Structure 1
Amino acid sequence: MHGLSFSNQNAIIGEKLIMKTACTSLYMMQSGVTKSFGILYTELLVTYDAGAGNTAWIGSLQTFLYFSMGPIANYLAVRFSFRTVVMTGGLLMSTGYLVSAFVPRIEWMFLTIGVISGFGGGLLYSPCTTLVSFYFEKRRALANGVVLSGSGIGSFLFPYFFRYAIDTFGFHGAMFLISAVVLHMCVAGALIRQPHQLAKRKRLSDDEPEVNANQTKQRLFKRKKKPIVDFSLLRIPRLAMYVISLTINIFAYSSSFVVFPAYMQSIGLEGHEITIALSMVGATEVFARSFFGWLADLKIFEKKTIMIISAAASGTSAIFIPFLRNFPAMIAYGCVLGIFPGAFWSLMAVAMLDCVKLDRLPSAMGLLTMFLSLGLVLGQPSMGWIDDATGSWDMSFRVMGVCYYISGVVLLLEPLIEKIWCSDPDEIDNHHELPKEEQIKMLTNDENDAKSSGDISDHFHNGTMLSDTSFKANASNSKVTVSNNQLEKTAPIVTLMDV
């Protein structure tokens, strides 16, 4: 017995390590490609002689779809499987870059890199962010930090890879190589296994026997279909404040990967120097994201406090960088950019779990990523337009710095706003739950649904069907009181004995 228990424990540990490895690899490739868009951006400006603002829309559209697809991707991952969704996303993302190798005009890049690759990346990002929280509990923040550090590895390696591919094979030839590397996401996706909590729920649904249309209409309680985008979560004040703060933060953070390399080019740095400075972002992210996750698990500081300090440091560095115009200063800023904004993203999933329970995390993360897409779609083009209007990237950096500050102030004011929002102490339970009436309603529906599914399955597995007579006998013994006259409106076919 002891040996069996030890074997099961090893299997669980091995499963967690495989999930962590798969998600880290996916983040490495996806974020590496995305954050290296600055290298492609400068090449697009030269190759197609395009405007800075309009060209920035390509990367902005791509990252917009990464995040706006979050609710749909998580819905499909729960409905089908994380593995299927992630592998499909990897295939689409690879296809987008492959087709880009044959594109003669920059307008087509909006479709290939922007839409096709962006749509594929959208099927990857949110499921990977959500998945790891199902497999770790005690060290959840650290696990998320380690997985997100894959973004740092990709940010460190891929700029060199992009630069080498472009210098050796030209811009269009480099698209072939990028497509081949991205295709390896399908391999990493094949390692993913559906979380036990979601797999069990799906098995209960699959085991439920098929019944005819009349019997289906006669069920006492029908499971209410959950919307793909659950806007009711915005009624949770803490979650709403995190959504606002993270959206403003990503407006500035995503812009950095267009503004920073373009600024270095404008002050006369060489291509290899730009690549080195960008790689510093990834190198520091590898350690910073794991460190902030570890620090959050120690619970010495609140997650919110860590994020506020991160926002202040990010804003200060962005405002002062235009005064520095040498290579060592760019290296230093690359390190700051990798360390401090990274705290926001390494703590994103665990911050959501401060607002909702684990079973609602897919919906919460999907909603969050949808709002993040708004910051993404506006960030990079806005910075490009500011450069077009002013002829300098200095003002873009200052706007980014102000946005970082605002994101921190929103979190700083969160207790006050939550207090005003929840003036009735009975309105919100523990400051991060839905109103009690909503909780009771959801709990009642879920319990009755679960019982209904279980009873039907048991009777069918035993080869028997509930008759109207047997139901009446069971119902007469039930002590359950059903609201809004559901018993009068429907003809139930399942027992209510243990609901």
Structure 2
Amino acid sequence: MDKGYAWVVMMATCLLQILYSCLLTSFGIFLVDITETTAYSTGRIAWIGAIGATFCGVSGAFTGNFIDRYGCRKVVIVGSLMISTGYLLSAFVRNVNIQYFSLGILAGIGFNCYAVSSHVAASQWFSKRKSLALSIVMFGMSFGIFIWGPIARFLSFTFAWRGAMFVIAGIQLNGLVIALLLRPPPKEKKPIEEQVKKELEVQEKKNITFKLCDFTLCKDWLFMVYCVANFCLLFGHVLPLILLPTKAETLKISKTKGAALVSTLGACSCIGRPIVGYCADKPWFNRRLLFASSSLVGGLLSAFSTLLNTFVLLMVYSSLIGFFSAFFMALFASVGADLVGINKMPKAVGLLTTAHGFSFLSSIAISGQLCDFTGNTDASFLLAGVIQTFSGILAFTVYFIHKRRLRHKEVKINTLIDGKI
């Protein structure tokens, strides 16, 4: 643990995150080209990305159970094949309804296999330096956002968008090679542990359906408010990745510069990830407060982005939104664990990713319809900013209520101790 082969696994999971970031970043580039070369509206095409992001989110709870049963290696292999098949089909079919399945459902579930497996594998191999390892893994996602914009634009310019998807299908097969590096960590188990494990295996298989449908955390109203905050947060955050190239086009900015805006967002997010990783375990670091603050600032930036009409100003916006996104995207899971306890973290992350999935669906679909109705992206960015700002307000509400709960709990414990003395 924390040494030797653990660093190989960490680099492998970082590469998985780079491949995973292709989901939304490249689609934002292809959205413009597909709309221009087909008879479909922006709203119809945007549903492809919406469905893909939704299935990538909502399948997280199920993927976690498959990882428990079959391991990260097999799940990543299946995910790689699903993604490649989805992109390959999309390169040849001409019916958008089929692309809803191939690039939406099939590739979306495959990308979720990458995302969940990378977090689980890194967590299994690291203990003392887990926060640092996970921040480096998430650095891969930010770096992927940085490079996938220019890659997608180059491929689309060179081979057209259908040829670009064919090439990406081949690139995603690298997940098969990465999967071979994800071997399970060595564990020294005592005989009694082996016996208990064997006794529980049968019971665990009987209860698998129940575990997949376990929503006991829904009874915790404060955590549900936090889920709503995450829904609103991702509703606003995903739109810059998708619509920045489209916004650039409406302002007569070249497609190359439009792709550069997305790359800048990813690059600045790369800068913020190591900062979060270094500070995460420090006693003075208040992740709940920083999560709420970064969510609020990100929302305000998107709301006021409607006033920006030059490439330089949009570059500044991309830089700021990328930097602040590094904080709330890296902290959402750990803040959820603070609210419900570390023992309930898997269930909490499952519900949070489900909320993210539905937010992807609604934000991309609604923004596409708004673009068709208004003829530009201003209404979409304004809506995203307002909703993400509301998520920051909810996050601050959760922060203060949870802080009050902790204070009351501490007073109660001290009272009990004084009574015994």
TM range (shorter): 0.7 to 0.9
The structure-2 alpha-carbon separation of the partners of 1:358 and 1:23, relative to structure 1 and needing over 3 Å to count, comes to farther
Cα contact 1:94–1:183 (8 A) shared by 2: yes
Tell me the distance in 1 between the aligned counterparts of 2:186 and 2:228: 32
Secondary structure of 1:298's match? coil
Query: Which residue, 355, 364, 373 being the options, matches 1:371?
Result: 355
Q: Which residue of 2 aligns with 1:321?
A: 305
> Which residue of the partner structure matches residue 81 of structure 1?
71
Shift of the 256–222 alpha-carbon distance from structure 1 to 2, 3 Å rule, reads: closer
Question: Deviations for 1:357-395, whole angstroms, at most 9, x for unmatched residues?
Answer: 555433322222112111111011111112222233112
Q: Is 2:290 aligned against 1:306?
A: yes
For the structure 1 residues 369 and 253, does the alpha-carbon distance in structure 2 shift closer, same or farther, using more than 3 Å as the test? same
Per-residue deviation, 1:129 = 3.0
Aligned pair partner of 1:393 in 359, 374, 377: 377
User: Closer, same or farther in 2 for the Cα pair 1:251/1:206, shift >3 Å?
Assistant: same
Name the amino acid aligned to 1:321: S
Letter in 1 for 2:332: M
2:155 aligned partner, one-letter code: A
Query: Which residue is equivalent to 1:471?
Result: none
Q: Deviations over 1:2-30 (max 9, x none)?
A: xxxxxxxxx75023212211211111111
The root-mean-square deviation of aligned C-alpha atoms, in Å, is 3.2
Q: Equivalent residue for 2:81?
A: 91
Task: Report the Cα offset of residue 156 of structure 1.
Answer: 1.2
How far apart, CA to CA, are the structure 2 residues paired with 1:204 and 1:87?
31
Q: Deviations over 1:403-452 (max 9, x none)?
A: 221111111111555589999979x99xxxxxxxxxxxxxxxxxxxxxxx
Aligned length: 411
- Superposed CA offset, 1:221-263 (max 9, x none): 9986551132112334554343222221011111222222111
Between structure 1 and structure 2, the one with the greater Rg is: 1
SS of 2:268's equivalent in the other structure is helix
Answering whether residue 263 of structure 2 is matched by residue 273 of structure 1, we say: no
Deviation at 1:329, TM superposition (A): 1.1
CA 196–34 in structure 1, closer or farther in 2 if over 3 Å, else same: farther
Native 8 Å contact 1:237 1:418 kept in 2: no
What is the letter of the counterpart of residue 333 of structure 2? Answer: A
In the superposition, relative to structure 1, how do residues 383 and 339 fare at CA in structure 2: closer, same or farther (>3 Å)? same
Are the structure 2 counterparts of residues 269 and 27 from structure 1 closer, same or farther at C-alpha, using a change threshold of 3 Å? Answer: same
Q: Distance in 1 between matches of 2:44 and 2:36?
A: 14
Structure 1 partner of 2:104: 114
Residue 47 of structure 1: aligned partner: 37
Letter in 2 for 1:62: G
1:489 aligns with none
Q: TM-score, normalised by structure 1?
A: 0.75
Report the equivalent of 2:24: 34
1:127 aligns with 2:111: no
Report deviation, 1:123.
2.3
Report if aligned partners of 1:65, 1:373 keep a CA contact under 8 Å in 2.
yes
Work out whether 1:261 is the aligned partner of 2:245: yes
Instruction: Report the counterpart of residue 419 of structure 2 in structure 1.
Output: none
Q: Flag structure 2 segments of 5+ consecutive residues without an equivalent.
A: 414-421
Tell me, in whole angstroms, the C-alpha distance in 1 between the residues paired with 2:362 and 2:351: 18
Counterparts in 2 of 1:237 and 1:116: CA distance versus 1, 3 Å = same
Hey, what's the Cα distance between the residues in 2 that align with 1:237 and 1:196?
Answer: 39
The answer to whether the 8 Å contact 1:229/1:367 transfers is no
| Partner secondary structure for residue 89 of structure 1 | helix
Aligned to 2:219: 235
Task: Determine the C-alpha separation between the residues in 2 that align with 1:250 and 1:318.
Answer: 12
1:391-430 equivalences under 5 Å are: 391-415=375-399, 417-418=401-402
Asked if the contact 1:126/1:369 (under 8 Å) is kept, the reply is no
1:235–1:163 CA distance, 2 compared to 1 (3 A): same
Query: Alpha carbons of 1:127 and 1:355: their partners in 2 closer, same or farther (altered >3 Å)?
Result: farther
Counterpart selection for 1:286 from 267, 270, 276: 270
Structure with the largest fraction of helix: 2
Aligned to 2:11: 21
Counterpart code for 1:354: D
Q: 1:425 to 1:118 in 2, by over 3 A?
A: same
Give SS of 2:33's match. Answer: helix
Q: Which amino acid aligns with 1:170?
A: A
Greater Cα shift, 325-334 or 289-298: 289-298
Taking a change above 3 Å as real, the CA distance of residues 299 and 401 of structure 1, as seen in their structure-2 partners, is: farther
Q: Which residue of 1 aligns with 2:135?
A: 145
On the 8 A contact 1:23/1:132 being kept in 2, the answer is yes
Cα contact 1:133–1:349 (8 A) shared by 2: no
> Partner amino acid for 1:227?
K
C-alpha distance in 1 between matches for 2:106 and 2:193: 30
Between stretches 171-180 and 233-242, larger displacement belongs to 233-242
Distance 1:198 1:165, change over 3 A: farther
Gaps of 5+ in 1: 1-10, 211-215, 430-499
Alignment of 1:463-478 (within 5 A): none
AA partner of residue 100 (structure 1):
S
* Distance in 2 between residues matched to 1:207 and 1:189, nearest whole Å: 27
| Alignment partners' CA distance in 2, 1:233 and 1:128 | 25
| Post-superposition offset of 1:161 | 1.2
1:141–1:346 contact (8 Å) kept in structure 2:
no
**CA separation in 2, counterparts of 1:198 and 1:394?**
58
Note the alpha carbon deviations across 1:121-162, whole angstroms, 9 max, x for none: 122222323443343344433322211111111111111111
Question: Cα 1:356–1:312, aligned 2, differ >3 Å: closer, same or farther?
Answer: closer
The AA in structure 1 aligned to 2:46 is A
> What is the rounded CA distance, in whole Å, between the counterparts of 2:147 and 2:271 in structure 1?
15
Tell which deviates more after alignment, 333-342 or 133-142. 133-142
Distance 1:209 1:232 in 2: 22
CA distance in 2, matches of 1:207, 1:405: 50
User: What residue identity is the alignment partner of 1:45?
Assistant: T
Distance 1:269 1:234 in 2: 46
